[in-house]
Amino acid sequence: MLIVTVLGSIITGLATPTEAAALGAFGTTLLAVLSRKLTWTALSKVIYETRTVTATILFVLIGATFFHSFSTRQTETI
């Protein structure tokens, strides 16, 4: 049912892919709460893992920015 809601909202044009992803995340969270599988321990673990992945992506982007900045400055001075 959740996949039908997410894909259906994209196909019918009711939501963009980003909005549909948020709808899917909300629906998944709601299903986990209703089935009593979402405990405070599980929520804490999810938040920790999300923070770790987000920080990793941020450091990759920072490194790419520095590399780009360095490589363009090297070509401008020649």
pLDDT, position 39: 92
In tens digits, the chain (78 residues) has pLDDT values of 999 999 999 999 999 999 999 999 999 999 999 999 999 999 999 999 999 999 999 999 999 999 998 887 765 555
pLDDT, position 70: 84
Is the whole-model pTM more than 0.85?
no
Domain residue ranges of the chain, discontinuous segments joined by +: 1-37, 39-78
pLDDT, position 59: 98
Which of 53-60's residues contact partners 24+ apart within 8 Å by CB, and which partners?
A: none
CA distances from 67 to 6, 35, 61, 73, 74 (A): 38, 47, 10, 10, 11
